[in-house]
Amino acid sequence: MRESYSRVPPTSSQGRAVDLTGFLLAWRTTTLPDREVVDGLVHPGHVGPSPALAAVLAQWPGNYYWSDEPDGRHLILTRPLARRRERWAPHILLFLATLYTITFAGAVLAGGIPYSGPLAFFTSGHPGYPGFLHAWSTGLPFSLSLIAILLSHEMGHYVVARYYQLDVSLPYFIPLPIPSFIGTMGAFIRLRTIVSDRRQLLDIGVAGPIAGFVVALPLLILGLTLSHAGAPEEGLRGLVVYFGGAPQIPLGDSLVSLVLRRLLLGHATTIDVHPVAFAGWVGMFVTMLNLLPMGQLDGGHILYARLPRWHQRVAFAFWLLIVALGSLWSGWYLWGGLVLLLSRGRLGHPPVLDVQRPLPASRRVLAWAALLLFIITFAPAPFRL
């Protein structure tokens, strides 16, 4: 791929508003539907960059960064082309529908709406239900906390992708009116273009989990301070979600939740989890699931960015691990099947535009940070049902 550099001067047809050719020994231009990517080998006299190059780069109508490679220092420049016009209506409607279903779930958790069985949403989750507005609003502490975590996670991906001038959709939220006690299946964004290199892929992949964790952690701490010791019951230990006057959902611990509950609530045998704490716990759970190094999950992006040749083997090993963990929580079987379905049975990862471009040392450190985040949020048995 490195042999494809050209030494021809730019022309107006290449569409560059800023002339950088005087600073480059060679360059390669790739035109994609959403952007133009220029990989330029910089003259040794300007790799500082020189004041002259810095002045020209200040006028570049897009994004750029440096890449230290065996043949010298490169500039990777991206110039946006036509941007797809986003249709806001589906995103807003899905967001509002998800907020509605999460708030209903929160109202059940808070006791504002009695849980009457699997069809509770359809029998009680409508404005015709007596005292509905007041009852429904009791779920807002849970729903606003959880929606903030999910939105932060997806906007982490979105903002970084837009920084790199990539064609990416706004978040799609997924409402879940059937009884999940969470009210949603999460959210996702669509990346509608190929990523330029592994640096971009890692930055986009890690931004979501970090952003979501940064919001989930204080909410979990706040929620645990609002929680209290529950009545001891045989077979119940640790974090338990109560509703309907009885313990209903025993929660498994990650390192984060274990340390925080010991610090904030001592050695209480059973803890009646406040809805805000449950939202924070779900945020940790979502972070952990997304950081699994498989397929096109966030962890899969990070793994491919760090070790592209090992991606398939490591992904398969982790897939076997979560299937084995199905003996602790049956939901792992569902998650393993879903990942396999979305990856079309291959657990692989689509290529980036230039896989040979080396990953900077700072991004290797970031990959280790993502691994640490996965370890501290990992719960082998998230729900002890």
- Enumerate the domain spans of the chain: 2-80, 88-225+279-377
CA distance 227 to 214: 21
Helix/strand/coil (H/E/C) assignment for every residue in the chain: CHHHCECCCCCHHHCCCCCCHHHEEEEEEEECCCEEEEEEEECHHHCCCCHHHHHHHCCCCCEEEEEEECCEEEEEEEEECCCCCCCHHHHHHHHHHHHHHHHHHHHHHHCCCCCCCCCHHHHHCCCCCCCHHHHHHCCHHHHHHHHHHHHHHHHHHHHHHHHCCCCECCCEEEECCCCCCCCEEEEECCECCCCCEHHHHHHHHHHHHHHHHHHHHHHHHHHHHHCEECCCCCCCCEEEEEECCEEEEEECCCHHHHHHHHHHHCCCCEEECCHHHHHHHHHHHHHHHHCCCCCCCHHHHHHHHHCCCCHHHHHHHHHHHHHHHHHCCCHHHHHHHHHHHHCCCCCCCCCCCECCCCCCHHHHHHHHHHHHHHHHHCCCCCECC
Say what the pLDDT of residue 2 is. 46
Say what the pLDDT of residue 14 is. 45
Chain-centre distance for alpha carbon 28: 32
Closest CA to 168 of 141, 117, 137, 208: 208
Say what the pLDDT of residue 117 is. 67
pLDDT in tens, the chain (385 residues): 344 454 433 433 344 457 898 999 999 999 999 999 999 999 999 998 999 999 999 999 999 999 999 999 999 999 999 888 889 999 999 999 999 999 988 988 888 887 776 666 666 666 767 777 888 889 999 999 999 999 999 999 999 999 999 999 999 999 987 766 899 999 999 999 999 999 999 999 999 999 999 999 999 999 999 999 887 777 788 899 988 777 788 999 999 999 999 999 988 889 999 999 999 999 999 999 999 999 889 999 999 999 999 999 999 999 999 999 999 999 999 999 988 888 887 888 999 999 999 999 999 999 999 999 999 999 999 997 6
Q: Report the C-alpha dihedral over residues 101, 102, 104, 108, rounded to 10 degrees.
A: 140
What are the b/e assignments for 221-256, b being 16+ CB within 10 Å? bbbbeebeebeeeeebebbbbbbeeebebbbbbbeb
Interacting residues of 127 by C-beta distance below 8 A, sequence separation 6+: 133
Beta bridge partners of 168: 191
Rounded to two decimals, what is the model's pTM? 0.91
State both tokens at 234.
């045989």
CA distance 282 to 284: 5
CA distance 271 to 285: 18
Q: Are 277 and 142 in contact (CB under 8 A)?
A: no
Say what the pLDDT of residue 114 is. 79
Say what the pLDDT of residue 118 is. 64
**Side-by-side strand order, sheet with 24-31:** 24-31, 35-42, 72-80, 63-69
Whether the link from the prior residue into 49 is cis, omega within 30° of 0, is yes
Phi-psi region of 96 (alpha: psi -120 to 50; beta: other; left: phi over 0): alpha
Residue found by looking up tokens 């706040």 in the block: 222
CA distance 377 to 283: 10
Neighbours of 177 (CB within 10 A): 17
Say what the pLDDT of residue 135 is. 85
